[in-house]
Structure 1
Amino acid sequence: MGMQKKLTIQDIARLAGVSKATASRVLNGNPSVNGELRARVMRVVEEHDFVPNATAVSLAGGNTHLIGVLAPPLVWPALPEIIRGVAEYIEDSAYEIVLYSINFANAECNHSEVVKRILNLHLVSGLLAIFTDELMPQITRLAQDGLPIVLIDDQEEPGHIPWVGIDNRESACTAVRYLLELGHTRIAHISGPQHYYWANERYRGYCQALQEAGIAPEPELLLQGGFEPLHGRQCAKQLFSRERASWPSAIFVANDQMAYGVLEYAEQQGIRVPEDVTIVGFDDNLLSAYTRPPLTTVHQPFSEMGRRATELLLNMIDPQYLAGPKASQQVQAPTDFPRLSERDQPVHLQLPTSMVIRASSTQASLSVKT
């Protein structure tokens, strides 16, 4: 059996007995088309399972109803939760997702080409950019050219592009205050790379909490790592290779991935957690509840970030998107940020974090809001 010829919009118009312009308006959801003509076009569409080419619709001036999601590799710890939030919100809208995953570890790859393809294909109506790292100059240019963009990013200080994130400084401050309340006074800090905004803010929060308690940060208790468990192991080795009398009683680690390395090193060396040292991380990645012992950490609302960023982006693309054919009655119009036409400054949505207390600091199991 030969493969059936793929229908074009011209074919749809011919079979429905209407002009190509009328068929195009129906497919783009234009409400000006006569009801009887719309029904004829949609009957042909349904009979032939016609799906319009998204690029062609865009080039014709229509809304593609596609949202681009520019993201780090799919193994990035926070990404599954963020994408889950995006998908949950998109499911109740008239839009679909196109995912662009970038491996920043491949230094030889020119990642800016991905951004150029997004622009040249005219495929998406807006872009959700997650932890864009080195691509911020290209992202900024796309925004300046008029493409609706929302960032989920704590690697750069929030600027003129709409942004969804957390208060890294206050969240870190809360974590260290918790350690102080447990009676710890010698608290080490393993920070992230200092050229990242989040790492600096979490370090400042650490210092702020100590200073509030009248404690000066000790230089020998400050170490800098990267993102991975390997960096946590290396920093832990530096801390615990000293005389036991100089060990910290607690360590605030700037992300959970490095905290996993600290826990691993402690187990290898027979250092008991939390009896010999208390460890607190940051992020509350999915694995953090299953480490040995389970990790006390700062919970970032990654799924909620995905939902709120998507809500904001759809509002920027089309403030009336809730009237679309797939819109759910359960989806509510945004209430805590102004319409695009009503605001002078970019929208920055800062979501609350929470402390999740697990066995790496105490045997209790509870959640304390910041």
Structure 2
Amino acid sequence: MTLEEIARLAGCSRSTVSRVINNDPNVREETRKRVLRVIREQDFQPNPAARALAGRRSRVIGLVIPQPLSTIFSDPYFSTLIQGCATACDERGYYLMLSLVLRQADDTYRWLIRTRHMDGLLVAPPLMDDPFIPHLLDRCLPLVMMGRIPGRADIPTVNIDNVNGAKLATQHLLKLGYTRIATITGAMNLVGAIDRLEGFLNALREAGIDPPEEYIQEGDWSEASGKRAMENLLQVTPPPQAVFAASDNMAIGAIKAIQAAGLRVPDDIAVVGFDNMPMAAMADPPLTTINHQIERIGFLAATTLIDRLETPPACMSDGDVQHVLLQPELVVRMSCGQSLQHGVVP
């Protein structure tokens, strides 16, 4: 909501709204009451910093990660993503501000939007049914999502093809002769986790395999959750021959659980991850995984947002909403056994 919109609803000029906000005594009382009523009804909160800038842009890009603090600062995925966003902002002369939304409450979101200390927002990764997105769209704040929300083709996105990536990982295990393949999913309130489960199931169904329910264990992207999920899988009869974990963090947790049970990777159980984080190459054994291009996603998302901010509205149309979908790549290492069976150098 802008001063112009308040003025239109109140039936007066923008300058009159500005004078009311600044308590100018020369405004007629009837007009003052009408403007204040519209301001209350529209939940409009003037930003003193924005008024001081007199319409100039702040050149600040906000980055919102709707995840717990413990996840943001412990998962290397987010530091890699932030690095990509920061690099693009630095190259274009913008500042990146990390906005930590600690609770998904309407008042928190409304405050973040009302203050308008930023020109636009990057959201990563969006939660399913997150109330933040409708608030942003209602306030006409430019945004780009790193990820996607089903049914929201009107929001620019930059994403990896999670369905195809999970399918590639699972097909790789199938080609090696594994038939009892389990998965450890990410948190299922995120579209990325749902898409990776879909890709896993698509690959198995195309091979004529219907996995038992016990072969699908939910994690939360953390190493600890991967370890717990793998411990559950080891109790299933028969146990899986291979596991696709929806993140490298969880895959490493799974490897530790397998080894703690006195079994070997890949001799007894093969493991494939997703993300290609630096830890994957240093795992024991080195982890076969899907290259996620996380830093590039952050870079492209920030670039896409800045391009939109710097494009005059008259030059944009409804068809200009951009959707960038990066294609995943399989990175083969020792954890699935291919190096030993086919002589491929990791």
TM-score per shorter chain, which class?
0.7 to 0.9
* Residue aligning to 1:190: 184
Shift in alpha-carbon separation, 1:340–1:69, aligned structure 2, 3 A = farther
Displacement of 1:64 in angstroms is 1.2
Ranges in structure 1 where 5+ consecutive residues have no aligned partner: 1-52, 104-108, 321-338
* Residue aligning to 1:85: 84
TM-score where L is the length of structure 1: 0.70
Displacement of 1:223 in angstroms is 2.5
Q: How does 1:163-312 map to 2 (within 5 A)?
A: 163-242=157-236, 246-312=238-304
* Residue aligning to 2:332: 357
Q: What is the CA–CA distance in structure 2 between the aligned matches of 1:307 and 1:288, rounded to whole Å? A: 22
Shift in alpha-carbon separation, 1:113–1:288, aligned structure 2, 3 A = farther
SS of corresponding position for 1:189: strand
* Residue aligning to 1:6: none
Q: What is the CA–CA distance in structure 2 between the aligned matches of 1:148 and 1:318, rounded to whole Å? A: 11
Displacement of 1:157 in angstroms is 2.7
Q: What is the CA–CA distance in structure 2 between the aligned matches of 1:122 and 1:207, rounded to whole Å? A: 43
Shift in alpha-carbon separation, 1:111–1:162, aligned structure 2, 3 A = same
Q: Among 132, 136, 150, which residue is 1:157 paired with?
A: 150
Could you say which structure has the higher helix fraction? 2
Shift in alpha-carbon separation, 1:242–1:313, aligned structure 2, 3 A = closer
Shift in alpha-carbon separation, 1:54–1:158, aligned structure 2, 3 A = farther
Taking only aligned residues, the RMSD between alpha carbons, in angstroms, comes to 2.6
Q: What is the CA–CA distance in structure 2 between the aligned matches of 1:141 and 1:255, rounded to whole Å? A: 30
Count of residues in correspondence between the two structures:
288
Say if 2:128 is the partner of 1:129: no
Say if 2:309 is the partner of 1:317: yes
Q: What is the CA–CA distance in structure 1 between the aligned matches of 2:81 and 2:290, rounded to whole Å? A: 16
CA-to-aligned-CA distance 1:81-137 (integer Å, 9 cap, x gap): 11111122122212211221344xxxxx46544433332322111111112437832
Structure 2 residue identity aligned to 1:88: T
SS of corresponding position for 2:286: coil
Displacement of 1:263 in angstroms is 0.9
Residues 115, 139 of structure 1: 8 Å contact kept? no
* Residue aligning to 1:43: none
Structure 1 residue identity aligned to 2:78: L
TM-score where L is the length of structure 2: 0.75
Shift in alpha-carbon separation, 1:79–1:297, aligned structure 2, 3 A = same
CA-to-aligned-CA distance 1:32-66 (integer Å, 9 cap, x gap): xxxxxxxxxxxxxxxxxxxxx99347751111111
Q: What is the CA–CA distance in structure 1 between the aligned matches of 2:168 and 2:225, rounded to whole Å? A: 24
SS of corresponding position for 1:67: strand
Ranges in structure 2 where 5+ consecutive residues have no aligned partner: 1-46
CA-to-aligned-CA distance 1:224-249 (integer Å, 9 cap, x gap): 33332222222222222355xx2222
Q: What is the CA–CA distance in structure 2 between the aligned matches of 1:87 and 1:196, rounded to whole Å? A: 24
